[in-house]
Structures are given as structure tokens and as C-alpha cells.
Amino acid sequence: MITPFRLHAALLTPLSNERMAWHPHGALVVDERGSIAWRGDEAALPETFLPLPAMRSPHVLLPGLIDVHVHLPQLDCRGKFGASLLEWLDRFIYPEEMRFADEAVARDVARRFHAALIAAGTTTAMVYGTVHERATDIAFEEAERAGLRIILGKVLMDREAPEELLESAIDGLSATERLIERWHRKTPRLWYAVTPRFALSCTTQMLTGAAVLAKRHDTYVQTHCNESGGEIARVAELFPEAAHYTGVYEAAGLLTPRTVLGHNIHTDDEQLAMLRAHGCAVAHCPDSNLFLGSGRFPIEMHEHHGVHFALGSDVGAGTTLSMFHIMHAMSHVQARSLHPFEPLYRATLGGAAALGLEDSIGSLDAGKEADMIEVEIEQSFCRGKRLQDLSAQEIASVLVYRSANQRVGRVWVGGEKISERGGTEDVPTPSV
Ligand SMILES: [Zn+2]
């Protein structure tokens, strides 16, 4: 239970990918359960809420940002240039993930990772761990301590990776089931995602076993799909019976309404129709796509087939946890400027919809959890105007297109303030 309060601020919140609600002189009431009891123009605030303690913010209030694809163990690997996806994994990522056999490393990185999410204004994330059971426990412990909403899973790999990271399908699936029993819905903010890394690193036995666990325990599923040419060619060699990459996951039973597939760049009509039929969502990770040169995400094809997508940082192929930067990168990948409402939606309400959580988070609507962040708007953008004199489009535009300068202030999850001050830096220093 928390002490109810009202917060007076300029409020911007998505209604869809084309519409935002903008209250330049807004107010929002948080009830004792941490839910939003009311939101609107402060002049219309019902009298019944007037006795509540009041706070006023000089900044813009947004819903907490949502990152639907990020790798916790790759926090310190950002910006390591290594050519294509598969070569980058071998040279930088697999050696780094081996370090997570050491509990001290797992603890240090998990703690800094969650602090960095908060600093960036991200309140919900869907996260890949490493293959290590103990490191995954530690990641969940630190997520719980941070107060964030986290969907997390231990990575499964039983082939095509260094020996130190491989396990038998039986061992990997047994560890996964123990983790599900310990962590899935342990609190209202924690969920498990069954996490076969990608088809390339998993045998059919591992993939089908993973699907059985996800179904038995009603968990999320996360994996990668159709990211790069080399990866797709190798999957075709390993699964000659499959018509295509997406078909490998369908045959295993991994396509569900709670499945989020990372990337899906080099896809086609048949595969998108398959994703649509199963109600899967896609994590679009534009900064990662630029870094690895993976290709242009086909927005129009996803829209045409009605396949929902949202934004992911994909750290460490993504270079930052700042979802403002990821929103900006979305337009770079398309090589055109997008209306700023589109990327802002994909990192808020659109992210919630990808996770099936749109009824509880993603916007500042009455009845939802009070996940919210303050963001300072640069004075130089206002040019003598007050913040309240700007339009919703101007506010969204400065948030998305001056992404390098965003300063996150206070951060709340479920009405509970988890940070007095976010920050501009998302790179705490390693201690191990
Ligand atoms: Zn990834």
C-alpha cells in the first residue's frame, strides 16, 4: 500500500501510434494500490481528490518506457565492432557471457543493469540472461530489489556455441523449470520468459522442450528470428525440413500469443502470416540493426500483415539503454523522418501491447498502474515559450529527435518512487 497523492505536471500519453493525449496543465491521481485513479486537466480535477498531498513537476510526465528486447550480460559489450552477427557473437559476446559463471560478476552486472534501466527511464523490460542458472537467480533478485517490471529468462543453447556455454537439452530445460517455479509471477512485477537463444544454437529437442515448459507454466517466450543473412543460411542447413526460419519455431510449438521474436528483418509474406496466425509480436531493434548492419526492418510489411511490433534496445548490439535514442534510431533505419508519435508509441503503449500488458501499463490512463517518468525539456527548444505553450507534436518531436540530450528525473513504478533522479548517463562503472 502507498500513500495516495496527486501530481500536477504537463502530461503526454499515447492513445495509439497516431494520437497522443496532451495536458499542458495536467494532473494525475495515484491511489493506495499504486494505480492511476484519475488523469486530466488540473482545472477539471474532482474536488474529492483535493485533500490528497500534492506534488508539482516542472517537467513533462510520460508513461514509463518499455524495452522489449535487451541482453543483461551484454551491458559492458556495447560498441564492440565485429562485423556480422555470428562473428560478433564469437569474438565478444560468448566470452563475456562465460564470465557469468562467477557469481560476483553476475551480481555486479545485474545491479548496474537495473540501475541503468531506471536512469534511462525504462520501467519494464524483457530481458535475456546467460545460460547460468545461478546468474539468472541473481538477475531476478536484483530486478526485484530495483522495483522494476522485468520479464527474464535463462538462455538455452545445446549446440553451435563454445563448449563452456553448452548444456544438454535435459539439463537446460530442468534448470529452466526450476527457475520458472522460483520466479514466474513471484511478485506482480516479475515474469519468466522461456529463452531459446535462437534456432541456430538449439536442437529440435531443446526447442520442443522449451515450448512444452512455456505452455505448462503459461510463461512468455523470447528468441531471435531472421536477423542476418549468415544466421538464416545456417538455420536452413540445420533444419532442412523447415520451409523457413519461422517454420522452425512453429514446428517446435514456440509461436504463441506471449512470444516476442527479436528482429524479423529478412522475412516474407508467408512467415508474417504465420506470426499473425499465432498472435506473436516482434521486437524491432533499430540501433542494433544499424550497428551490425543487419538491414532495414520492413515496417510496412508488418503493418500489412497485422503483426504487432515494439521497440527494443538489444544492448549490447544496441549501443545504449536509452529508449529515446532507440526511438530516434527507428527513423534512421527507415532512412526517413517518422512522425514522432510513432516511435514514442512503440516504446510505451506499443511495448505494453507486445507483452500483452496494455491493460495495465504503457499509458497514463485511469485504472492502469502508475508507471511514470519525468523528462526535462531543453530550454533552448522552447525559445522563450513556456513548456505549456508547446503542442503535443512539438513535445514528442524534441523527445525523439533530440534524443541525445534527454534527462530523466523521478521514476515511479506502481506509484512507488524508485528513483529520485534518473540521469543522462546509463553507464555505471564495473566493480568486478
Ligand atoms: Zn538480441
Whether the CB-CB separation of 294 and 367 falls below 8 Å is answered with no
Sheet containing 20-30: give its strands across.
36-41, 20-30, 5-14, 54-63, 372-376, 407-413, 416-419
Question: What integer pLDDT is reported at residue 298 of this predicted model?
Answer: 97
* 223 domain-assigned: yes
Whether the CB-CB separation of 406 and 422 falls below 8 Å is answered with no
* 239 domain-assigned: yes
pTM: 0.96
Total domains, the chain: 2
List per-residue pLDDT tens for the chain, 432 residues long: 899 999 999 999 999 999 999 999 999 999 999 999 999 999 999 999 999 999 999 999 999 999 999 999 999 999 888 778 888 999 999 999 999 999 999 999 999 999 999 999 999 999 999 999 999 999 999 999 999 999 999 999 999 999 999 999 999 999 999 999 999 999 999 999 999 999 999 999 999 999 999 999 999 999 999 999 999 999 999 999 999 999 999 999 999 999 999 999 999 999 999 999 999 999 999 999 999 999 999 999 999 999 999 999 999 999 999 999 999 999 999 988 899 999 999 999 999 999 999 999 999 999 999 999 999 987 777 777 888 899 999 999 999 998 777 789 999 999 999 998 755 444 456 666
* 110 and 174 share one domain: yes
Question: What integer pLDDT is reported at residue 431 of this predicted model?
Answer: 64
Distance from Cα 366 to the centre of ligand 1, integer Å:
34
Phi, psi of 71 (to 5 degrees): -110, 110
Question: What integer pLDDT is reported at residue 404 of this predicted model?
Answer: 76
Distance from Cα 162 to the centre of ligand 1, integer Å:
18
Distance from Cα 24 to the centre of ligand 1, integer Å:
37
Picking from 255, 286, 321, the residue at the C-terminal end of a domain is: 321
Distance from Cα 282 to the centre of ligand 1, integer Å:
12
Distance from Cα 387 to the centre of ligand 1, integer Å:
37
Question: What integer pLDDT is reported at residue 198 of this predicted model?
Answer: 97
* 150 and 17 share one domain: no
Distance from Cα 119 to the centre of ligand 1, integer Å:
21
Distance from Cα 208 to the centre of ligand 1, integer Å:
21
Distance from Cα 263 to the centre of ligand 1, integer Å:
8
* 282 and 368 share one domain: no
Question: What integer pLDDT is reported at residue 423 of this predicted model?
Answer: 52
Question: What integer pLDDT is reported at residue 43 of this predicted model?
Answer: 97
* 242 domain-assigned: yes
* 245 domain-assigned: yes
Distance from Cα 393 to the centre of ligand 1, integer Å:
31
Distance from Cα 147 to the centre of ligand 1, integer Å:
23
Picking from 298, 321, 344, the residue at the C-terminal end of a domain is: 321
Distance from Cα 73 to the centre of ligand 1, integer Å:
11
Question: What integer pLDDT is reported at residue 86 of this predicted model?
Answer: 87
Distance from Cα 362 to the centre of ligand 1, integer Å:
22
Check which CATH number belongs to the domain holding 264 and give it: 3.20.20.140
Distance from Cα 262 to the centre of ligand 1, integer Å:
6
Q: Which three cell numbers stand for residue 394?
A: 512539438
* 159 domain-assigned: yes
* 330 domain-assigned: no
Distance from Cα 400 to the centre of ligand 1, integer Å:
23
Distance from Cα 316 to the centre of ligand 1, integer Å:
8
Distance from Cα 71 to the centre of ligand 1, integer Å:
6
Picking from 269, 292, 321, the residue at the C-terminal end of a domain is: 321
* 130 and 154 share one domain: yes
Distance from Cα 212 to the centre of ligand 1, integer Å:
23
* 134 and 218 share one domain: yes
The sign of the torsion formed by the CA atoms of 401, 403, 409, 414 equals positive
Distance from Cα 224 to the centre of ligand 1, integer Å:
6
Distance from Cα 89 to the centre of ligand 1, integer Å:
10
* 428 domain-assigned: no
Distance from Cα 314 to the centre of ligand 1, integer Å:
5
Q: Looking up cell 522449451, which residue turns up?
A: 210
* 90 and 24 share one domain: no
How far, in Å, CA of 289 to CA of 295, rounded? Answer: 6
Distance from Cα 123 to the centre of ligand 1, integer Å:
19
* 91 and 229 share one domain: yes
How far, in Å, CA of 308 to CA of 166, rounded? Answer: 33
* 92 and 169 share one domain: yes
* 54 and 75 share one domain: no
Domain around 90 = 65-321
* 88 and 155 share one domain: yes
Distance from Cα 87 to the centre of ligand 1, integer Å:
14
Distance from Cα 206 to the centre of ligand 1, integer Å:
19
Distance from Cα 173 to the centre of ligand 1, integer Å:
20
* 344 domain-assigned: no
Distance from Cα 430 to the centre of ligand 1, integer Å:
22
Identify the burial level of 47 via C-beta atoms within 10 angstroms of its C-beta, where 0-12 means exposed, 13-18 middle and 19 or more buried.
Answer: exposed
Q: Which three cell numbers stand for residue 262?
A: 527479436
* 284 and 386 share one domain: no
* 134 and 210 share one domain: yes
How far, in Å, CA of 237 to CA of 73, rounded? Answer: 29
Distance from Cα 94 to the centre of ligand 1, integer Å:
13
Check which CATH number belongs to the domain holding 48 and give it: 2.30.40.10
Distance from Cα 186 to the centre of ligand 1, integer Å:
25
